[in-house]
Structures are given as C-alpha cells and as structure tokens.
Amino acid sequence: MPLLVMKFGGTSVANLDRIRRAAKRIGVEVAKGYDVIVIVSAMSGKTNELVGWVNETSPLFDAREYDAVVSSGENVTAGLMALTLQEMDVPARSWQGWQVPLLTTSAHSQARIEDIPTQNLNQKFGEGMKVAVVAGFQGISPEGRITTLGRGGSDTTAVAFAAAFGAERCDIYTDVDGVYTTDPRICEKARKLDKISFEEMLELASLGAKVLQTRSVELAMRYKVKLRVLSSFEEQTDEAGTLVVDEEDIMESNIVAGVAYSRDEAKMTVVSVADRPGIASIIFTALSDEGVNVDMIVQNISDEGRTDMTFSCPTDQVARAEKALLAIKDAGGLNYAELVADTDVCKVSVVGIGMRSQSGVAAKMFKVLSDEGINIKVITTSEIKISVLVDRKYMELAVQALHDAFELDKAA
Ligand code: ADP
Ligand code: ASP
Ligand code: MG
C-alpha cells in the first residue's frame, strides 16, 4: 500500500470540531487507497500550560520530569483522533512514542531520534489498520524514560516517520497555508512561496521561523523526504501549500528569500575578564555543561588586559547561564567584575542562497535599520544569512522594513 504521513499542529487539533475536520481530511486520503500515519501535536496552548506548571514548581527543573509532564498533551490528542476516525468507520489506532517505539537519545527536553523500528506499525497495517495516529514530540530513551524532541518537535516526528516508512509524502498541516517570505502574522505584505529550498528553510527555521522545526528540515534533506506545508483550514488540492525542495528545483529566486525573527533571545555580558588564552574555553565549557544553548558570541576590544565577553542565549536559559557563570567566578582566574543580562532583545535575520554570489546585502540591511533609528547590538553572518540582535520593541518594525527594502512581496 502507498503510505502518507500527515501531521496536524496544535491549532489544527485545538478542539473536537477541529479534530473532526482533520479526521475528514485523513479520510479523504484513506479513500484514495493510502495507509496513513498521522502525527498529532497537543491542543494549542496545552504544551505552554504544561511548561508553565513545571517552571512554577521547579525553576531549574530535572529535565526527565519536565519530559514526563510536557509530553502528556500529545497523548490526549492521539487518543481523541483515533476515536474520531473510528466513529467515521476508519480503522485507526493510537500510539504513544514508547509503544512504536520511537527511540531517542537521553538528552531530555531536546532528545534526538535514533531509530524508528517499523515492525509494530507494519504488523497492524497488515491486519487492516488504515491509520496509525502517533503522538508527536515524544520518544523513549535507552534508559526507558519518556523524552521530548524540543519545542515544535512534532514536525520532526512526522519527517522521521516519513523517512522510516518510505512515505510518498509528508504533509505538515498548520494554521497558515504554507511557508511565507516572513511570518504573515507580523508582516501583512508577506508572500506565500510555492517552493523553498531545503538550505533556506533550514536557516529560516533555525533563526526562528517556527513553521517547521529545524531538525525536521535537516532530516527531510538527508533522507530526501518530499515535504509540504499546508493549511488544515482550507480545502486542499494536490498543488496546495509550499514544497520544500532541492536548490536546483528552483528556477528563479530573490537574493533574499525571507526574513526571520526570534523573540526569545537574551544578551549576556561577562564584564571585565582577563584577556588571555583559555578564558573563552572556561566560560563556554561551563555554559555547555549546564545545557545552555549559546548562539551569538562577541568579544570586545581589550582594554589594559581586560575584556568583555558577550553572548546570546534563549531567554528561558538565563537562570541556568547565571548559575553556570557564578559557579566559575573565581575559577582559573576568571574573576569577572559583573554579569549583565539584557532580556529585552530579539534577533532579526535575512536569509537567501543568492547571498553566496551577491555582495552588499549586509550593507543594505544595516542601512535600512539605521534609517529606522534601530541600534544593532550584535551581528553574526554565515554564507547565506545575516543576523542582528536589536531591542525587542523594534522587532516588527525591523522585519517589515527589511521585507520592504528587499522587495520580498514581489516574486523574482
Ligand atoms: P503548528 O501548531 O501547526 O505546529 P506553529 O505555530 O508551530 O504551528 O507554526 C506555524 C506558525 O509559524 C504560523 O502561524 C506563523 O505565525 C509562524 N511563522 C513564522 N514564520 C513563518 C513563515 N516564514 N511562514 C509561515 N509561517 C511562519
Ligand atoms: N506540542 C509541542 C510544542 O508545542 C510539540 C509540537 O507541537 O510540535 O512544542
Ligand atoms: Mg509547530
């Protein structure tokens, strides 16, 4: 039997009506002759609520228990979706991560998928099951404990299943009708793309465009999964949505493909550390040991043998970063003067494979921000992206101004 993977995000399963609507969509594919693996998220808002409860109970929580709590939202929607399909006379069964089993590393709250044995599900498909509804976002560690795959991880569950089962396509149903040049919620001129390259999608996702989790794009690229993003709220044709494709399958593209932003950034400065070999290593080893995801790093110009080290990390990791840096204050002669956290910043980035061959994008980006009176706090670049850290109050303005300046509302 040909097989499809269909993933429904939080807003697409937010209540029983929406679950019924998604189930009808699944029924259409079953009627066409497909076996279907459905991946569901928790109802929208549920995971945030669960994370909030964990933080309130224990700010520097044990990640094993975090996973035990936050994985639970998906269990509810998986069961409800299977029941809804059964009510429509579609043979369906729900599966939690451990039952599949979806095997992961033990990196709790950010686990990576190691393997998905296909035997259990295939046996049930062989016995007449038409739809396997799998709880997204969760797996099981080698120690036998529940793990989660990081926020937005159901996308990765979906692509991993598509790869493991050789699915014809992996359709990601969400609350927008595809991938846009930037988040349509903060820029009304955002334009839907019919196709986007894996490379650009990977950068946009890793820089904050949460329409797909970064790891899902990496997996789709590596295992050549046909990946599509589309709306669960509209009637769909086979051409709907946005296809994520190889670079060579895109004929014409703008120099800049899209603008991404990440609201939850913090800038931390270790003020006045000795400027000598080994200092960066002490600081960033301590942060890494505490599980802090450091993103941008800047070392200021040295003044009389002392320097400031600035880095960015997600806002919700500031407490962990402070803990790690306080613990090494006197270690190895680090002896910094103070630790300053600025939690009122955001990251705005422009992405495009055209930047490989065209210069001047950075200059134009900085000019646009300066014309709007936006001060840049930190800059990083790579071959196909430029990111800046700016005050959070300028986030929408920066995204809209860049979208206008690079004329992203017009196709190439
Ligand atoms: P789901 O719950 O279906 O997984 P998410 O909220 O995780 O949905 O992702 C969809 C959201 O991603 C959209 O509602 C949109 O606000 C946001 N988004 C950010 N950047 C983009 C973009 N470039 N294109 C489309 N959506 C984007
Ligand atoms: N429910 C999880 C989250 O909100 C996983 C997902 O929806 O992809 O992050
Ligand atoms: Mg998501």
Q: What is the DSSP string of 169-223?
A: EEEEEESSSS-BSS-TTT-TT--B-SEEEHHHHHHHHHTT-TTS-HHHHHHHHHH
- Three-state DSSP at 77 gives helix
Q: Which range has the worst mean pLDDT, 59-68, 112-121, 165-174, 323-332?
A: 323-332
Strand partners, 282: none
Distance 237 CA to ligand 3 centre (A): 22
For the chain, the structural domain boundaries read 3-175, 259-405
Is 192 annotated to bind a ligand? Reply is no
Distance 222 CA to ligand 1 centre (A): 23
Residue 122, Cβ density class (10 Å: 0-12 exposed, 13-18 middle, ≥19 buried): middle
Extract the tokens encoding 399. 């995204």
Average pLDDT taken over every residue of the chain: 95
Superfamily of domain 259-405 in CATH is VC0802-like (3.30.2130.10)
Query: pLDDT (tens digit, 9 = 90+) per residue, 289-331?
Result: 998 999 999 988 888 889 999 999 999 899 999 999 999 987 7
Domains 3-175 and 259-405 share a fold: no
Strand partners, 262: 347
Asked if 358 and 383 touch (Cβ cutoff 8 Å), the reply is no
CATH architecture of 3-175: 3-Layer(aba) Sandwich (3.40)
Confidence of residue 332 (pLDDT cuts 50, 70, 90): low
Extract the tokens encoding 378. 């930190």
Element (H, E) at 314: strand 306-314
Question: What share of the chain has pLDDT > 70, as a percent?
Answer: 99
**Quick one: how many helices (H) and strands (E) in the chain?**
12, 18
Is 226 annotated to bind a ligand? Reply is no
Query: pLDDT (tens digit, 9 = 90+) per residue, 235-258?
Result: 777 778 999 999 888 877 789 999
* Residue closest to 4 by CA, chosen among 238, 189, 167, 131: 167
d(CA 27, CA 37): 12
Query: pLDDT (tens digit, 9 = 90+) per residue, 154-186?
Result: 999 999 999 999 999 999 999 999 999 999 999
8 Cβ closer than 6 Å to some ligand 2 atom = no
24 Cβ closer than 6 Å to some ligand 1 atom = no
Is 8 annotated to bind a ligand? Reply is yes
38, 39, 54, 137: residue to mutate for ligand 2 pocket, most atoms within 8 A of CB: 137
